[in-house]
Amino acid sequence: MNHIISPLDLSVEELDKLLDLANDIERHPEKYAHACEGKRLASLFYEPSTRTRLSFEAAMMNLGGKVLGFSDQDSSSATKGESVADTIRVVSCYADIAAIRHPKEGAALVASMASQIPVINAGDGGHQHPTQTLTDLLTIRSMKGRLDNITIGLCGDLRFGRTVHSLIEALVRYDNVHFILISPDELRVPSYIRDGVLQKENVSYKEVVRLEEALPDLDLLYMTRVQRERFFNENDYVRMKDFYILDAEKMKLAGPDMLVLHPLPRVNEISVEVDNDPRAAYFKQARYGVYVRMALILTLLEIA
């Protein structure tokens, strides 16, 4: 049984194949319109989501399949105390594949161990978000033409931002990727990423506080919001939330080909005036999320 719990569950070769398939789906959606007829996706969202849930659901519908599930744990039997393991055992009787988002780190792994169907981690607490990473990689490869030989700045809440953790783990496998980690001291990447991934893999990286200092050197800027829901104390969130605001003035410091990515939702960290800059790629990135999730469903169901 294949599950996607971490971006490392796919080898670089498998990843390339998946991204090729996603590009083919983008070009020829009609070829795939009936590929999942008779199949069902269970969409199990214990935490709020717009993009991940709706793009998974759109992906399955685009493939001719059906969707069932819940978008709020209060409308599931989790409120009665049912465990994730028991839930997925039951859902395995109703669906062919499941996407699960949960506030607890490790919940998707626990689900996969009890499941009879492929499980996809759609975000587990502040830990990992592998399908956002697939979306990010597809966006970068499609728009830049490569995943190697890049300097990427990751900016904002690098401590709790699970998309950042997954993206770093995925990108260290490519040649000559240089990371600039831009955050306030309190929101630096956790040590399991800094020591356990960047240093262990002997990858080139530096940590800076000022966004202005990093901007001129970047091929890609990956902005993130401060993750309010992961803070223990509202005052700390309020102090941090507007630490970085990318605006038209700051964009003048960046090169003409630098792309701005953001997993979204955006709060204040990218001013709306940047949206019309041709380097702003974040809404296109959200569209790529559907193609890559279609490719992932086809791959895990062994249809493609």
Q: Is 115 in the site for ligand CP (CB under 6 A)?
A: no
Catalytic position from the list 52, 87, 163, 224: 52
In SS3 terms, the chain reads as CCCECCHHHCCHHHHHHHHHHHHHHHHCHHHHCCCCCCCEEEEEECCCCCHHHHHHHHHHHHCCCEEEEECCHHHCHHHHCCCHHHHHHHHCCCCCEEEEEECCCCHHHHHHHHCCCCEEEEEECCCECHHHHHHHHHHHHHHHCCCCCEEEEEECCCCCCHHHHHHHHHHCCCCCEEEEEECCHHHCCCHHHHHHHHHCCCCCEEEECCHHHHHHHCCEEEECCCCHHHCCCHHHHHHHCCCCCECHHHHCCCCCCCEEECCCCCCCCECHHHHHCCCECHHHHHHHHHHHHHHHHHHHCCCC
Verify whether residue 3 is a known catalytic residue: no
Which stretch, 62-70, 92-100, 153-161, 263-271, contacts ligand CP (CB under 6 A)? Answer: 263-271
- Which is the catalytic residue, given 3, 39, 101, 165? 101
The answer to whether residue 128 forms part of the interface with ligand CP (CB under 6 A) is: no
> Looking at 43-51, 102-110, 173-181, 209-217, which segment touches ligand CP (CB under 6 A)?
43-51
Active site residue 129: yes
Q: Does the active-site annotation cover 101?
A: yes
Q: Rule CB under 6 A: say whether 188 interacts with ligand CP.
A: no
Residues in the interface with ligand CP (CB under 6 A) total 9
For residue 144, the tally of other CB atoms under 10 A from its CB is 15
**Is 51 a residue of the active site?**
yes
Instruction: Tell which one of 158, 170, 263, 288 touches ligand CP (CB under 6 A).
Output: 263
Stretch that binds ligand CP, among 45-53, 75-83, 195-203, 207-215 (CB under 6 A): 45-53
Which residues from 283-302 bind ligand CP, rule CB under 6 A?
A: none
Kindly give, in sequence order, each residue whose CB lies less than 8 Å from that of residue 80, ignoring residues fewer than 6 positions away.
Answer: none
> How far apart are alpha carbons 273 and 43 in whole angstroms?
34
Told to check if 52 binds ligand CP by CB under 6 A, we report yes
Least Å from the CB of residue 121 to ligand CP: 11
264 contributes a contact to ligand CP by CB under 6 A: yes
Cα–Cα dist 196/91, whole Å: 35
Q: C-beta of 236: minimal distance to ligand CP in Å? A: 21
Q: Which of 20, 28, 37, 50 binds ligand CP (CB under 6 A)?
A: 50
- The CB-of-119 to ligand CP minimum distance in angstroms stands at 17
66 sits near ligand CP (criterion: CB under 6 A):
no
**Is 293 considered catalytic here?**
no
- Taking the complex as a whole, how short is the minimal distance between the CB of residue 290 and ligand CP, in angstroms? 12
Q: Is the backbone peptide bond immediately before 265 cis, with ω within 30 degrees of 0?
A: yes
Which residue stretch of 62-70, 86-94, 183-191, 261-269 sits at the interface with ligand CP (rule: CB under 6 A)?
A: 261-269
Q: How far is the CB of 123 from ligand CP (least distance, A)?
A: 6
265 binds ligand CP (CB under 6 A): yes
CA atoms of 76 and 74, how far apart (whole Å): 5
Interface residue list for ligand CP (CB under 6 A)? 49-52, 123, 132, 263-265
Q: Provide the annotated active-site residues.
A: 51-52, 80, 101, 129
